[in-house]
Chains A and B, each alone.
Chain A
Amino acid sequence: MAEGSGERAAAHYKRVDIVVALIFLAFGAIVAFDSWRLGAKWGDDGPQSGYFPFYIGLIICLSSIVNLLNGFAIRGERDKVFVKVGQLKLVLAVLLPTMVYVGCISWLGIYLASVFFVAFFMRWLGKYTWWKVVLLSVGNSLFFFVIFEFWFMIPLPKGPLESALGLG
């Protein structure tokens, strides 16, 4: 990955640090707010349901404010590169297909989706020849099929292919 464009910074540490601290702050606020709605006071029979989570939310808010201040205080060379363009591309090249894969599981079943997923990776990133791609991706799913459906008797999500073959 020595190409010039890949070495550029896609994001700096400071900005990501601040964004994550803000997300924490929002999350803490939601937790505290919803717990307050439930009742975070001291009832007749001890602490109410929201008592514990309310203070949890409060501590999240307080500590993320400190983290936020620390994030803003990052200056100069301490603001390292968070992720380079080339690195981010690689991460997204795996993350996005995996999202699609997870989405496909519900209508293709996990086995068929896995065949496509592994095949896609081997062909696209690994540049393998087709027979190797087919052999490994189908073999992988068959292997898991035998292990889970027959050996451990744990049914995994199945789709139209399995029902067409009379296995689902």
Chain B
Amino acid sequence: MDEIQSLMHGFAIALTLKNIAFMFVGVILGVIIGVLPGLGGANGVAILLPLTFSMAQVPGGTTTAIILLSSIYWGALFGGAITSILFNIPGEPWSVATTFDGYPLAQQGRAGAALTAAFTSSFVGALVAVIMITFLSPRVAKFALEFGPPEFFAVYLLTFCAFIGMSKEAPFKTLASMMLGFALAAVGTDPVTGTLRLTFGFTEALNGFDFLIAVIGLFGIGEILLTLEEGLAFQGTSAKINFKVVMETWRELPKYWLTSIRSAAVGCFMGIVPGGATPASFMSYGVAQRFSKDGEKFGTGVVEGVVAPETAAHAAGTSALLPMLTLGVPGSPTAAVLLGGLLVWGLQPGPLLFVEQKDFVWGLIASMYLGNIAGLIVVLTCVPLFAAILRIPFSVIAPVIMVICAIGAYTVHNSQFDIWMMMVFGVMGYLFKKLSYPLAPLVLAIVLGDRAEASFRQAMLVSEGDMSVFFSNALVGGMTGLALFLLCWRLLSAALAALRNRLRGS
């Protein structure tokens, strides 16, 4: 039981007064970010990342920094449920399924019960996922220590093909958006030879595009522009949550234990796969609806319909950190930003992290347990406060969020050009969202582009240009095969469907 021992060591690192303080600060900031339109987990963490530069300089500071940032993530996950239930506005894509039953419950005056159920099941989902991370990640990391460039490229390939195979958006739009990310990542200096690529003589392009700017623009500015279309005021029900409601709901929740287990399992599995949180919440809602004896009442306001998607979404959101820590391949945009943080602080994500940075890794894992407990306490006690934030008129909150985004974009590289880039990405995010070009693969491609290319070229150098290196053993062959299967199956079925429509149409 090495893991238990390491975990206890992690608790010893995480449980300092400073770290606990930053945990609560992070969770509170995170909930606010999750509640505010235009700010979500990914861009909230991206904006605050530059503030941790100096924090990470002191010994043990990287642990404090990651605790702050990951707590913001937990807070944002909790915050998404507040807007879904009270305002029928999903703060994050994976909160959409929560609105199906959460908002009707709130309209019936049972907002307190819906919120308590959502927060508690989020907590349960996250807890299951953290336990899985605790026991599974050291094994995955150990396994991945043997990986060479071909294996890593196969992992990247699988990651990106899974996006195309699993996303509900049109596969060729997913492909176009992803490749745009790769192209943007290629701008600047070639990591292998040092040649300048795709700069077209612009000095600003020499260093390439920073994905933090892209995240702030795409998710921040783009989201605000989208929200604006709905008008300047939000209509919501009021939130009252008191001790009695919490206790009553907690007495009711154990009835849904089977739904919780099923949803947590779906969430954990889907979370490891990139882009899994949103499908996980929908899938788990659908499964719960089919198996529940109140199945036909789903959608009219049943607590079980809140439990299922929230458990799955949180389990998925948390387990998305597993591939990020062990392989250096993030499973979601927010995990990608956290990965960016690790790089900025001088840590190399991947299997070696578990060998060289034991304190950091186990401090982080221990803080996941603590952060979610802190989150549950904060949201249960402060809901009315957070709901009040959404009542601030948009004509005040929108410019302030714009200012925050601009400051966030500037501080990444102290460059005013980046603020302009942020605006460009903002308009892009608005258009892409409306035309259903998915944003997550775009962001992940910008983050991983250079490394995917480097591992591909290293593999090619070793094999002297022989592509069969990607099928040279069972492991790498299996991953490449699965990736190609996911890719071809989806692209072919889409192409065939399009062809059939054409033939029928003409």
Contact = CB atoms under 8 A, between A and B. Distances in A.
Interface string B387-414: 0000001111011101100110011001
B180 interface: yes
A46 B404 CA distance: 45
Interface string B175-202: 1100110110010001011010110100
Contacts of B407: 110, 144, 148, 156
A126 B431 contact: no
Interface string B372-396: 0000000000000000000001111
A52 B186 contact: yes
A24 B398 CA distance: 30
B146 interface: no
B396 A126 contact: yes
B419 A90 contact: no
A57 B193 CA distance: 20
A129 to B, nearest CB: 13
A82 B434 CA distance: 8
B15 interface: no
Interface residues of A, number: 68
A143 B465 CA distance: 57
B399 A117 contact: yes
A118 B198 contact: no
Interface residues of B, number: 64
A117 B411 CA distance: 19
Contacts of A131: none
Contact of B465 (A35, A46, A57, A157): A46
Contacts of B200: 34
A46 B460 contact: yes
Given A59-B179, A98-B402, A125 B502 contact: no
Contact of A118 (B170, B186, B403, B460): B403
B505 A73 contact: yes
Given A66-B172, A118-B399, A34 B179 contact: no
A3 interface: no
B197 A46 contact: no
6 contacts: A17-B435, A20-B431, A20-B432, A42-B465, A125-B232, A154-B411
Given A47-B465, A128-B395, 10 more contacts: A20-B431, A31-B183, A38-B197, A48-B193, A66-B495, A94-B228, A102-B423, A118-B396, A121-B396, A153-B54
Closest 7 CB pairs of A and B: A126-B395, A125-B395, A121-B399, A49-B195, A87-B229, A66-B172, A53-B186
Interface of B: 50-51, 54, 170, 172-173, 175-176, 179-180, 182-183, 186, 190, 192-193, 195, 197-198, 200, 221, 224-225, 228-229, 231-232, 393-396, 398-400, 402-403, 406-407, 410-411, 414, 416, 419-420, 423, 427, 430-432, 434-435, 437, 453, 456-457, 460-461, 464-465, 495, 498, 501-502, 505
